[in-house]
Structure 1
Amino acid sequence: MIQADVSPTKKSKKHKDANQIQYPNLVVPKIENCIAHVSSTTAIWSSISRVTGWFSTSEEERIQVQLTTPPRIKKAVAIGIHGFFPIRMVRSIIGEPTGTSVKFANEAALGIQRWAEQQGQEVEIEKIALEGEGIVLDRVENLYRLLSNWMDHLHQADFILVAAHSQGTPVAVQLVAKLIGEGHADSKKIGIVGMAGVSLGPFYGLDQKLVMRAYTSFESDSLKELFAFQNPDSLQARRYIEGLRAVIAHGVKITYVGSVNDQLVPLYSALCVHVNHPHIYRAIYVDGKAHSPSFIIDLIELLTKVRNFGLSDHGIIRDLSDSLAGTLTGGGHSNIYNDPGVYDIAIKYSLETTDIPDIPVQIEKFEVPMPSNYNPYHLPWSMRGILDQDFVRTHLMNDVKKTLDKFDIWNPESKPLKDIKYRLSAIKATAADRALPPPAIAE
């Protein structure tokens, strides 16, 4: 038998060293980089806009929340809502479900405690873990009955934070809508953090990979329902939108956080890209152990900044999502809820921004990416649209320059990422043709 030379080559040693580097986890973009501090002028203008019912999504006339003085919080309630737990066979592939409601309630409570200490406040925190599986609509009803045992705590609370994962995200939205409808959420701050939520379902075609026939009838119904969210006309999708309209009209702040290398939920779904309102904040979680390309991280951060400033990403998040899918054995879908930064950013957004509840929620037409509607030319054309926006050219040029610099040195290895680099190869020329000005405001 011929024994191979196992001494490391220069290339393999470099690869090995790269895998051993401990990169930090990231939750970006930071709120301070997307939301301005409130001023008397903007406050007056926002008030006039709300009274007259006027609303525009143009670059010059968009309406945003702004950072403001944090409120005094004496009592808070942290609620955890878990997602769909797969059968044991699938758990052996994607790992045991550690994302329980107890975990989320505890992490949310710790986040509230950190926030209170930073503000020099003392706050009493009640933790509520709502456990129970099933389809979304059944879970809303069942968890509401469980929540009735804590109504006194909800009535006394100044702040309620609901932390939900995966299927738990639409459950959380509709549960809070029911609380509001029943009069149990008046005169209090409410925040929802949806971690890797299935707002537009899982990846297209993933149901075939997960072998539906391996599930019991009960589990199969819950899994099939997740894919119903891909259809905006389905009962599940319509009820979810109804819930969003109700909670946002009440002043609830929603933070959607997606994982860059999620193996089950695409980024466009986790970020709920088809729904627009100033009360929605979007962020991405980057697992340091996944070694995601710096260019991809910077590009997605730029796109989420654009969305948080109230402008369109021109569908680029949708076009990129399939290429970012993690392996089924990866932890992208689950590691997101272990990072304290995910809860911190939702708490800050919920408590330190102004309210604009009386602007209508806007729903965009959305098509789930699939072979029948795939257009390889859409991505470069959309990127051109981003670079052409006056707001980007004026306020986000540092981000654009950093992203373009990373693009130059990016050497993707996988076929999907190589395809992205090929399709975006004209973006440097596009930037040069537009003679993009130097940044006017440093971010």
Structure 2
Amino acid sequence: MVAALEQYLETEHQLTLSDDSITVIPLEGEGKVEERIQKLYLQLISNLEWLEAISSADIILWGTHSQGTPVSVMLLHQLLQRGHIHLHRQAVCTLAMAGISHGPFPSLQGSLIVKYFEADAARELFDFMDSNSDISQKFRDSLQSILNKGIKLVLVGSLQDQVVPLYSAILTSVSHSNILRAVYIDKHVYSEDDFLINLVIFALRLRNAGIPDHGLLVHVSEVLAGSIYAFEGGHSTIYEEVDVYMLAVRYLFDTPGVSPLAQQQQKRQPPSSLPRSPANIKNLSLLQQQQQLEEVRMEPFKAKLRLNPYYLPWVLRGIFEDAIISKEEWTSKELGRLHELFLRWAPTSARLREFKFRLEPLKDHIFGSS
């Protein structure tokens, strides 16, 4: 994170920070989620230098990985509640890499690795598969609080994660204007013209634009699962890439975000005071839409061991016939490109060939009509 911040400031603003301008706080601790929160909080308050750095900082960049995502969100909420962070003068961005927000792959729950060798902390992670579980509810309450207070959240999943589904890493059931979603792709599997990769990126762009993906990322996640028995990168390589951290740095500095302070500034000029010209009526509508996005939207979620394979064609049909999506110029171009890539796509693995087979009935009706 430090390397990304220094690189950004040097390249974008020709600014070099002194060594004492940045305080790195490496928090470590094992155990179940709430046990870790307690341990990490005690680490912080017992180190006066760290506590002062958090309280006096101009910006706070918070990086976390895997199980650390719910731990970090709930710890951050606790720090806000106890007055250690002051959002009226501090900007905060949390980067969650391969976060286990909706639990691991359900298929791992009965594996020998988890059943016999992993600790209670690992088994607890499967409770996140159900949004109604006790620990999920606590996580969601904290998440809702920090987002509504103006904290930015960057969610980066790994394309071939062996442990965490993409839908879990990008927290598919939660929507808010301060969330940015992205995918990390290992170099050895990346191809600019790969249909599946472009389909995932398209779905993420929809979510970042505030447009529903009709559940596409949930259904695609099952196909993307990496192997925990062979090295394929993914879960343990995402945090080694500086560009992942750079995304969070740029999101913090280069975008305005939504916060209670911004809402107060909007309220100082009531929309009714605007002249009722066609342009201002349109602006008023956009303002009302923006205000609706300022509240966190949370859908119930429960992971399934196996998804119904017949849902995928209907999910894609919903996307391609969505009135909002069809009106956007950039989406129309992307749909046309996806059509071309699909026609050229020749997957080699059995899993991907099955995925393409499930989409064949839509080749002409949906892809062809774009």
Band of TM-score, shorter chain: 0.7 to 0.9
Q: CA deviation at 1:291?
A: 4.8
Q: 1:414: Cα distance to partner?
A: 2.0
Q: Does 1:316 align with 2:249?
A: no
* Alignment match, 2:124: 225
Q: In 1, Cα distance between the equivalents of 2:241 and 2:336?
A: 29
The verdict on how the C-alpha distance between 1:291 and 1:355 changes in structure 2, with shifts beyond 3 A counting, is: closer
Question: Matched residues in 1 for 2:238 and 2:24: separation?
Answer: 20
Contact 1:318 1:369 in 2 (8 A): no
C-alpha distance in 1, partners of 2:105/2:360?
Answer: 26
Q: Which amino acid aligns with 1:237?
A: S
State yes or no: 1:142 paired with 2:42: no
* 8 Å contact from structure 1 (residues 319, 369) kept in 2: no
Amino acid at match of 1:192: T
2:310 paired with 1:377: yes
1:406-426 deviation digits (Å, cap 9, x = unpaired): 111111122221121011113
Is 1:110 the counterpart of 2:3? The answer is yes
SS state of the match for residue 236, structure 2?
helix
Tell me if structure 1 keeps the 8 A contact 2:9–2:16: yes
1:16 maps to what in 2? none
Pick aligned residue for 1:252 from 151, 157, 164: 151
**Contiguous gaps of at least 5 residues in structure 1:** 1-107, 437-443
In 2, the alpha carbon distance for the partners of 1:127 and 1:121 equals: 19
Size of the aligned set, in residue pairs, is 323
Question: C-alpha deviations, 1:240-268, integer Å up to 9, x for none?
Answer: 10110111122110000001110110000
| Structure 1 residue 120 displacement after superposition | 2.7
Residue number in structure 2 paired with 1:79: none
- 1:254, 1:350 within 8 Å by CA — same for their partners in 2? no
Q: Are the counterparts in 2 of residues 191 and 252 from structure 1 also a CA contact under 8 Å?
A: yes
- Map Cα deviations across residues 85-131 of structure 1 (whole Å, 9 max, x no partner): xxxxxxxxxxxxxxxxxxxxxxx111111121122334421111001
Give SS of 1:208's match: coil
Structure 1 length as normaliser, TM-score?
0.70
Find the counterpart in structure 2 of residue 96 from structure 1. none
CA contact (8 A) 2:94 2:248 kept: yes
Superposed, 1:40-189 pairs within 5 Å as: 108-117=1-10, 118-123=12-17, 124-148=21-45, 149=47, 150-186=50-86, 187-189=89-91
Match for 2:319 among 352, 362, 386?
386
Give the structure 2 partner of residue 408 of structure 1: 343
TM-score (normalised: structure 2): 0.83
3-state DSSP of counterpart to 1:354: coil
> Which residue of 334, 340, 347 corresponds with 2:236?
334
Which structure's residues are more often helix, by fraction? 2
Moved more, 203-212 or 133-142: 203-212
Distance apart, 1:360 and its partner CA: 1.5
Query: Could you tell me how far 1:181 is from its partner in structure 2?
Result: 0.7
Deviation at 1:210, TM superposition (A): 4.2
Unaligned stretches of 5+ in structure 2?
A: 261-293
**Which amino acid counterpart does residue 136 of structure 1 have in structure 2?**
V
CA distance in 1, matches of 2:16, 2:323: 44
Q: Is 1:285 aligned to residue 184 of structure 2?
A: yes
Structure-2 residue corresponding to 1:211? 113
* Aligned equivalents of 1:366, 1:287: Cα separation in 2: 28
Query: Partners of 1:256 and 1:245 in 2: how far apart?
Result: 15
Q: Distance in 2 between matches of 1:322 and 1:432?
A: 22
State the partner residue of 1:423: 358
Shift in CA distance, 210/336, structure 1 to aligned 2, threshold 3 Å: farther
2:83 is paired with a residue whose SS is coil
Moved over 6 A (4+): none
Contact 2:108 2:114 in 1 (8 A): no
CA deviation map 1:171-226 (0-9, x unaligned): 111111111111111120101111000000000020322433533xxx52101111
CA distance in 1, matches of 2:201, 2:35: 36
CA RMSD of aligned residues (A): 1.7
